[in-house]
Amino acid sequence: MTTTRPSVAVIGGGISGLVAAYRLRRSLGSVADITVVDDSPRLGGKLRTIDLGGGPIDIGAEAFIARRPEVPALLAELGLTDQIVYPAGLSPLIWSQGSLNRLPAGTLMGIPASSESVRDLVDEQTLSRIAAEPGAPFEWTRGSDCSVAELVSQRFGDQVVSRSVDPLLGGVYSGLAETIGVRAALPTLAAALDAGAQSLTDAVAAAVPTPTPGPVFGALRDGYGILLDALRQAADATFVRGEASGLRRDGKGWNVDPLGSVDAVILAVPAPRAAVLLAGVDADIARIASGIELASSAVVALRLPGQVDLPQNSGILVATDADLTAKAFTLSSRKWTHLADRGEHLVRVSFGRFGASEIVDRPDGELIELARADLETVTGITEEPGASFVQRWHGGLPQYSPGHTEIVAEIESGMTQFDGLEVAGSWLHGVGVPACVAVGTTAATRIFERVAR
C-alpha cells in the first residue's frame, strides 16, 4: 500500500456513493479511513422510504431490474435476500385522448414493430403510415445518433411519440423523446440500425427482447431504506454533512475542502456538481460534464381507503398530448402484493418532465390537490386520502441526450490521467439502481487498485 492507513473521500451519499464506500471497506479493510461527504440532511440521494401510516413505502425509485445481477447480489452479501419481492403481474395503462388504453404490446420503449400494437392510441392515418414504413426510403449512418423523437416522428408520426413513447421515457428519465438520444437510451435499437436494418420497423423487431421466464422487476418488502441502512453500517465510514467546496491535486493524493488531504476521491454526485469540483482539476472535462442536463420531478404519495375501486392495473402512464398535469400514476397496492396485504390502497402520482420543472416548486397542498384531481379524472376516485406526502427531486434525473455515450466516454477517458480520482452516478451508464450499484463498484475497484499497489 502507499500508506499503512489509506484514506478515501466519497463525495455524495446516494446509492452510488454508499455502494462505493461499502466496497472500499470490504477491499481495504478496517484500517482504511473512509469518509462520505453529503450536503443532504439524509443519505440515499434519490432513494427514500417513508412510513405513510400503514408501513414503509418508497417515494423515489421503487423497483430494480431483476434480470440484472447487481442488486440481488448486493442484497445477498448484506443478508437481505429475503427482502426481495416481485410484482403481482398486472399491466399498466396509458391515459390518452380522454380515456384509459392498454399499454401497447411488442414495442421497444413504446416504439412499435407493427401498426396493430398501437391501434388503440393513434388515428387511421398514423396506422397507415406505420404499416407503410418498411417500404419508405430509409437512411441511417452507422455510429450516428439523434433524439428518439426525431427518429420516431419522421418514420411513424408525432402521435406515436406523444402517446406511446413519451409516457414510457418519462417514467424512466423524467424527460421527453426529444431530449433523449437513441444510442444511450435504446442501445439495442442503435445496434440494429448500425447492423443495416432497412427500416425502423425492422430495427425495432430485431431489438425487442425475446421474452424470458421470470419477473422483470423486483423491489424490497420494507423499501430501499433497508438497503441504505445496511450499506451505511457495513461501510463503517465517517459521514460528514456538508458540501465539498474544492478539489485539487496534493502531491500523490488529493485535497478536498473541507476534509484536507486524502489518498483518493470518488465523485458520486450529479454531473453539474461533479463539473464544479473538477473545474480546478481539468477545465475541459469539467466543461463536458457541465453539459449534462437534469430534470426535476415530484411524487405525491396518497394512502386511500381499501374499499376504493382502484383499477386492476399496475399504473397509468400519461400521454404528453393529454390534458393532465400529472405524468404518471403508480397504483402501488395493485402493483405489489406485499403492499396490497396492508388492506389500504397506496398510489403515487408523479409530476415534472425536463423543461417543465415549475410544477415541482408548487406548494405541497397545491400538488396534493392536483394529484387528487388528476386521479379523479382518470379513475373516478373522489375519496379523501387518509395520509399524503410530497417528495421533490430537484435535478433528480440526468437527460441522456443525443451523443451522451460519446460524452461519457470522453469524460472517462480523460479521467484516466488522474490517479486516485473516479466518478460515479446515474449520469454515466444508466439511471436505474442496478446501474448505479455497478458504477459505484467499478469506482471503488479502481481506487483499491490505486491505493493497494
Q: How confident is the model at residue 1 (pLDDT cuts 50, 70, 90)?
A: very low
Q: Name 231's Cβ contacts closer than 8 Å, sequence gap at least 6.
A: 15, 18, 19, 21, 22, 78
Q: How far apart are CA 191 and CA 90, in angstroms?
A: 31
Q: How far apart are CA 335 and CA 91, in angstroms?
A: 8
DSSP category for residue 81? G
pLDDT at 238 > cutoff 60:
yes
Q: Name 162's Cβ contacts closer than 8 Å, sequence gap at least 6.
A: 319, 320, 321
Cα three-residue angle 398-402-406, rounded to 5 degrees: 90
Closest CA to 265 of 255, 273, 275, 280: 255
What residues pair up with 304 in beta bridges, in sequence order? 345
- Supply 161's cell numbers: 411519440
Q: Name 345's Cβ contacts closer than 8 Å, sequence gap at least 6.
A: 303, 304, 305, 306, 308, 310, 331, 333, 334
Q: Which residue type does 114 have? A: S
Please write down the long-range contacts of 369-373, taking CB distance under 8 Å and 24 or more positions apart.
370/300, 370/325, 370/326, 371/300, 371/302, 371/326, 372/302, 373/325
Cα three-residue angle 397-403-409, rounded to 5 degrees: 85
- Supply 398's cell numbers: 440526468
Q: Find the mean pLDDT for residues 237-249.
A: 95
Q: How far apart are CA 341 and CA 95, in angstroms?
A: 27
- Domains along the chain with CATH numbers: 7-49+219-292+400-451 (3.50.50.60), 105-206 (1.10.3110.10), 294-398 (3.90.660.20)
Q: How far apart are CA 371 and CA 351, in angstroms?
A: 9
What is the residue-averaged pLDDT of the chain?
95
DSSP category for residue 162? I
- Supply 115's cell numbers: 401498426
Q: How far apart are CA 319 and CA 453, in angstroms?
A: 54
Judged by DSSP in three states, 184 sits in helix
What number of other Cβ atoms are within 10 A of residue 450's Cβ? 18
Alpha-helical segments (H) within 402-432: 404-415, 426-429
Q: Find the mean pLDDT for residues 108-116.
A: 96
123 in Cβ contact with 259 (< 8 Å): no
Please tell me the predicted confidence (pLDDT) of residue 411. 98
Q: Label the pairing between strands 7-11 and 264-267.
A: parallel
Please tell me the predicted confidence (pLDDT) of residue 3. 57
pLDDT digits (tens, 9 = 90+) for 381-397: 999 999 999 999 999 99
Q: Find the mean pLDDT for residues 247-254.
A: 92
pTM for the structure as a whole: 0.95
What number of other Cβ atoms are within 10 A of residue 49's Cβ? 20
pLDDT digits (tens, 9 = 90+) for 179-233: 999 999 999 999 999 999 999 999 999 999 887 788 899 999 999 999 999 999 9
Q: Find the mean pLDDT for residues 94-123.
A: 95
pLDDT at 452 > cutoff 80:
no
Residue 282 backbone class (left: φ over 0; alpha: ψ -120 to 50; beta: rest): beta
pLDDT at 79 > cutoff 50:
yes
What is the crossing angle of helices 187-194 and 200-207, to 10°?
130
- Supply 118's cell numbers: 398501437
pLDDT digits (tens, 9 = 90+) for 297-332: 999 999 999 999 999 999 999 999 999 999 999 999
Q: What are phi and psi of 318, to 5 degrees?
A: -115, 125
Q: Which residue type does 284 have? A: D
What residues pair up with 25 in beta bridges, in sequence order? none
425 in Cβ contact with 15 (< 8 Å): no
- Greater confidence (44 vs 106) lies with 44
Q: How many angstroms separate the first and last alpha carbons of the chain? A: 5
pLDDT at 453 > cutoff 70:
no
